[in-house]
């Protein structure tokens, strides 16, 4: 009879075989992440695929915590780990211990990381953007001295706005040292009194454009006092420099078009202003001519004395009013003066004195009487208080034959306070008696 085994036994056997194989104990794979899932406990479940094959993968939370990037669907990665069998399903899988982004994917992750950091620090905010002047006199260009980018920029500026002066700051725009070259030229441009600065290069791969994704270049653009137009790559290319710059152009040619106006448009605008100015001046002349004609036909100019006569008549009327006012004022004052002169007071000045003198004498008599009465009342009150104080005086009772007995300056009120042989003081109304206790007992 055949020896049947369970599925679990088979899967367990295969698991041990996989784990015993030295070629599967630690493998290095590269591929693209698909079916990605982040477990609530921190484990990563995903598949790793290439053009024709796929393998299941798991990265436990302890290993996933060491990642310096965020894996997601479509990310190309390098992984290290061991191949094993998951007994519950019988499927083989790779248990990943290390993972890192592959090539361009790594650059993209670095790009996204720096972009988030600078955005959080406020380098992309609109309130920091400087306006681009409409009619620049001097334009700076930071790019490679040869190539299509500089040719397109210079030819576009010359065609659109030839009156502007253009200054080239030749820089390396590709390679390890490109970021330093671009940064140094941005700082150098500050010394040339520029109205606007174009920074960029022609198209290329993400590696070619990487100098404009460097933090040192981004901060140089942000700190530049000159309005900056970024012109990096093609319209679909976006770099960190584009977000920090005051204006982003889709191409170097587009940057030149944004930096200067079209001379034909400027000439057309000037012609429009000229026509409007001429019309405005013509209307102004016409209006003033009508006003001048009206002044020429004015009644005052034709009859200048009439205006004077009207003013003379008004003046005469005012003089008459003033004279009448002064006359009435004098008459009123004279009348008041006559009344004062005829008054009883002026004719009999002593009568008021005699009348008030009698009042003063009467008040004086009343005052003296009131003061006498007050003094009597106060004296009686004083004597009454004095008698009360005498009654309350503890020494007053001594005059009646009483005495105060004390020992060591303490009044003795109880026979128990002294004993035979104690010295005591007996105070009388007229002096003291020093005595010695022969006996002390209860009454």
Q: Structurally, how many domains does the chain consist of?
A: 3
pLDDT of residue 199: 96
Q: Is residue 284 part of a domain?
A: no
Band the pLDDT of 443: cuts 50, 70, 90.
Answer: low
Q: Is residue 353 part of a domain?
A: no
pLDDT of residue 180: 96
d(CA 157, CA 229): 14
Contacts of 256 by beta carbon, 8 Å cutoff, 6+ apart? 152, 153, 154, 156, 157, 160, 198, 231
pLDDT of residue 409: 78
Closest to 230 in 3D by CA, of 123, 143, 113: 143
pLDDT in tens, 165-182: 999 999 999 988 999 999
- Same domain for 160 and 251, yes or no, is yes
pLDDT of residue 104: 61
Q: Is residue 245 part of a domain?
A: yes
d(CA 427, CA 263): 130
Task: Check if the beta carbon of residue 153 is closer than 8 Å to that of residue 253.
Answer: yes
Closest to 184 in 3D by CA, of 151, 214, 152: 214
User: What value does the mean pLDDT take over residues 207-231?
Assistant: 94
- Same domain for 84 and 138, yes or no, is no
Task: Check if the beta carbon of residue 201 is closer than 8 Å to that of residue 252.
Answer: yes
- Same domain for 167 and 48, yes or no, is no
d(CA 220, CA 210): 15
pLDDT at 207 over 90: no
Closest to 190 in 3D by CA, of 259, 142, 262, 231: 142
pLDDT at 9 over 70: yes
User: What value does the mean pLDDT take over residues 278-282?
Assistant: 90
Q: Name the token pair of 276.
A: 């409007």
Domain final residue pick, 261, 281, 310: 261
User: What value does the mean pLDDT take over residues 360-371?
Assistant: 87
- Same domain for 138 and 243, yes or no, is yes
pLDDT at 254 over 90: yes
- Same domain for 61 and 138, yes or no, is no
Between the CA of residue 111 and those of 100, 114, 143, 238, 242, what are the distances in Å?
15, 5, 21, 10, 13
pLDDT of residue 297: 77
Q: Is residue 332 part of a domain?
A: no
Domain range holding 44? 7-102
Domain final residue pick, 241, 261, 281: 261
d(CA 128, CA 114): 19
Q: Name the token pair of 220.
A: 């140089």
Q: Is residue 56 part of a domain?
A: yes
pLDDT in tens, 399-429: 777 778 888 878 887 777 788 888 888 878 7
d(CA 198, CA 156): 13
d(CA 182, CA 192): 16
Residue 42, by phi and psi: left (phi above 0), alpha (psi -120 to 50) or beta? left
Answer with the residue of higher pLDDT: 16 or 205.
16
- Same domain for 256 and 160, yes or no, is yes
pLDDT of residue 294: 81
Contacts of 242 by beta carbon, 8 Å cutoff, 6+ apart? 212, 230, 232, 248
- Same domain for 53 and 170, yes or no, is no
User: What value does the mean pLDDT take over residues 193-213?
Assistant: 90
- Same domain for 44 and 139, yes or no, is no
Q: What CATH number should be reported for the domain holding residue 80?
A: 2.40.50.140
d(CA 177, CA 166): 25
Query: How many C-beta atoms surround the C-beta of residue 165 within 10 A?
Result: 13
Q: What CATH number should be reported for the domain holding residue 250?
A: 3.40.50.261
pLDDT in tens, 98-144: 998 876 666 777 888 899 999 999 999 999 999 999 999 999 999 99
Q: Is residue 279 part of a domain?
A: no
Q: Is residue 67 part of a domain?
A: yes
Domain final residue pick, 233, 261, 289: 261
pLDDT at 255 over 80: yes
Q: Is residue 350 part of a domain?
A: no
Q: Name the token pair of 115.
A: 């972009």
Answer with the residue of higher pLDDT: 382 or 348.
382
d(CA 245, CA 258): 13
Q: For a pLDDT cut of 70, what percent of the chain falls above it?
A: 92
435: phi then psi, degrees, rounded to nearest 5: -135, 170
Band the pLDDT of 344: cuts 50, 70, 90.
Answer: low
pLDDT at 259 over 90: yes
Query: How many C-beta atoms surround the C-beta of residue 312 within 10 A?
Result: 11
pLDDT in tens, 292-320: 888 777 766 667 676 666 777 788 788 88
């Amino acid at each position: 009879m055949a020896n049947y085994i369970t599925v679990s036994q088979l899967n367990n056997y295969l698991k041990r075989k996989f784990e015993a194989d030295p070629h599967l104990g630690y493998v290095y794979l590269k591929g693209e992440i698909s079916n990605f899932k982040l477990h609530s406990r921190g484990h990563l479940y995903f598949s790793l695929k290439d053009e024709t094959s796929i393998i299941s993968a798991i990265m436990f939370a302890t290993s996933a915590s060491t990642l310096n990037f965020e894996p997601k669907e479509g990310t190309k990665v390098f992984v290290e780990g061991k191949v094993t069998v998951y007994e519950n399903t019988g499927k083989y899988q790779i248990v990943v211990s290390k993972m890192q982004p592959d090539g361009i994917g790594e650059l993209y992750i670095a790009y996204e990381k720096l972009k988030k950091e600078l955005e959080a620090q406020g380098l992309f905010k609109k309130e920091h953007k400087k306006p681009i002047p409409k009619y620049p006199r001097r334009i700076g260009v930071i790019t490679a001295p040869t190539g299509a980018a500089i040719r397109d920029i210079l030819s576009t500026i010359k065609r659109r706005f030839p009156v502007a002066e253009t200054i080239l700051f030749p820089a390396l725009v590709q390679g390890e040292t490109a970021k330093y070259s671009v940064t140094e030229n941005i700082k150098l441009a500050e010394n040339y009194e520029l109205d606007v600065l174009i920074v960029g290069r022609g198209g290329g791969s993400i590696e070619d454009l990487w100098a404009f994704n460097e933090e040192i270049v981004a901060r140089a653009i942000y700190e530049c006092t000159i309005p900056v137009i970024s012109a990096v790559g093609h319209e679909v290319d976006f770099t960190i420099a584009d977000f920090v710059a005051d204006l982003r152009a889709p191409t170097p040619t587009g940057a030149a078009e944004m930096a200067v106006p079209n001379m034909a448009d400027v000439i057309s605008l000037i012609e429009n202003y000229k026509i409007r100015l001429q019309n405005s001046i013509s209307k102004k002349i016409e209006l003033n001519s009508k006003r001048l004609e009206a002044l020429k036909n004015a009644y005052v100019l034709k009859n200048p004395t009439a205006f004077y006569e009207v003013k003379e008549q008004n003046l005469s009327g005012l003089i008459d009013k003033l004279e009448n006012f002064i006359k009435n004022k004098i008459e009123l004052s004279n009348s008041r003066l006559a009344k004062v002169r005829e008054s009883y007071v002026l004719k009999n000045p002593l009568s008021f004195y005699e009348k008030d003198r009698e009042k003063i004498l009467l008040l004086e008599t009343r005052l003296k009487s009131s003061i006498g009465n007050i003094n009597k009342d106060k004296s009686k009150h004083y004597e009454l208080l004095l008698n009360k104080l005498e009654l309350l005086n503890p020494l007053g009772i001594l005059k009646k034959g009483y005495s105060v007995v004390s020992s060591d300056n303490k009044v003795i009120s109880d026979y128990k306070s002294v004993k035979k042989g104690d010295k005591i003081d007996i105070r009388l109304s007229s002096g003291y008696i020093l005595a010695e206790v022969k006996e002390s007992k209860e009454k």
